[in-house]
Amino acid sequence: MTYNKALDNYNQMNVNIDRPEKLILMLYEGALRFANFATGDMMSFGTMVAILFTWYFQSLGISLGVLPTALLAIPFAVVFMICIC
């Protein structure tokens, strides 16, 4: 009787393992989700670098006249992000 109860409890808690193809697909989807998350982090960091370059250029008095200084800072931020990747 106790054995049957233990077996019933085990069967309720047992997690079925799927086919290997499905496990590989789950790992692949997890890697894609992580890459998507990492891309967002890199974009946020790149935006911060562009803002800091803009602030630095403005503190030096460098500008493009009527155009925003950020247009000058964006290529520097892109090069910086390429170098750290």
Query: pLDDT tens digits, residue range 6-63?
Result: 777 776 766 666 677 777 888 888 888 887 787 888 889 999 999 999 999 999 998 8
Residue 1: pLDDT above 60?
A: no
Per-residue model confidence as pLDDT tens digits over 50-79: 999 999 999 999 888 888 888 999 999 999
Give CA–CA dist 5/67, Å, rounded: 76
Which one, of 79, 73, 77, lies nearest residue 58 by Cα? 73
Predicted TM-score (pTM) above 0.85: no
